[in-house]
Amino acid sequence: MRGTSTTAAAAETTLHRSRRQRRFWNRSGRLAVPYLLVVPVVVVIGLVLGYPLYWLARLSTQKYGLFELIQHHGTSVGFANYSSVLHDQIFWHTLLRTVIFTVANVALTMVLGLLIALLLVRVSTVVRLLLSSGLVLVWSMPVVVAVQIFYWMTNFQNGVVNYVLTELHIGNYDQHDWYATTFSQLSLVTVLIVWGAIPFVAITLFAGLAQVPHDLVEAAEVDGARPWAIFRDITIPVIRPILLILTSLSIIWDFGVFTQPYLLIGQAKITPGNYLMSIYLFEEGYFKTDFGRGAAISILMLLIVAVLSVVYVRRMVRIGTAQ
């Protein structure tokens, strides 16, 4: 640039600089876009999750009972709440019961949901329409209403279930008490939960099954593959990501389920002998007005669910990168 006049040189420098500047802003603008897009989510999550979580964690390290509730401040006790929960026999029994309960619920939901989804693929359009409308109706029923109807159906004195089972000569179910044992109580809750969860699983899997390449199935059939082999080697691998996400969501929902067991069994019938984790949390925290201990239980529950879902999330991410 030595041969040019100073004004021209200056002009050129300005031009260069502004061009460079524009390029800089363009580049950083492009870099900033993803962050800007993420801001609303961060704000919302911060508000609805981060802030309460912070208070929950704080509460879990405090003695916070009725007295503290009225004074509006607790006294710090470090990790005493956690150690009291972890030394509580009831906690471990409840955890075991909840894990078994969750496994049963998730397994039943996934297997029945998958079977119905496979059925939806095979049936005629009219039947498919009827079936999926039925599923959507189940899904749209408020939980509280569903609980009440289940409760009426299984009523001791004049429930329709006892009547039908007796009329069908399956046994004498006259005045059979479905709420007499923990197993019977939790089995009813399982029926209610699985019944309510199947629609979502079935419809989602049905959508997933539409992704199974038809020509691949045909080719396998030509090669003489049996239906089971086709299902195992073609269908399942295609819908695996959906299966995984549905399973992990179901685990999270069923592990922390509260409404169905609490309302169906009823507060007056709830004892440490039939606690599920969320009910244990509610009874310890609210009924005994020991909010600090309740907060510690809910943090522990959160950690357990996080550990359970990490396995699935990692496998999902791996599938995502492989594809």
Which residues lie near another protein (CB under 8 A)? 28, 31-32, 35-36, 38-39, 42-43, 46-47, 50-51, 65-67, 69-70, 72, 156-157, 174-175, 177, 179-181, 266-273, 283, 286-289
CB of 61 to another protein, least distance (A): 18
CB of 58 to another protein, least distance (A): 15
Closer residue to another protein (CB): 162 or 204: 162
CB of 143 to another protein, least distance (A): 17
Closer residue to another protein (CB): 90 or 234: 90
CA nearest to 240, candidates 156, 114, 76: 114
CA distance 11 to 29: 26
What the block records as the tokens of 56 is 């929950």
Closer residue to another protein (CB): 187 or 309: 187
Closer residue to another protein (CB): 11 or 180: 180
CB of 175 to another protein, least distance (A): 6
CB of 91 to another protein, least distance (A): 15
Cβ atoms 84, 173 nearer than 8 A? no
Closer residue to another protein (CB): 81 or 102: 81
Distance (Å) of CA 249 to CA 34, 45, 142, 306 = 27, 19, 19, 11
Cβ atoms 235, 212 nearer than 8 A? yes
- Say which residues have a Cβ less than 8 Å from residue 131's Cβ, sequence separation at least 6: 116, 119, 120, 123
Closer residue to another protein (CB): 83 or 133: 83
Residue 3 phi/psi, 5° resolution? -75, -20
Distance (Å) of CA 317 to CA 38, 242, 245, 253 = 20, 12, 11, 21
∠ at Cα 234 (230, 238), nearest 5°?
150
CB of 194 to another protein, least distance (A): 24
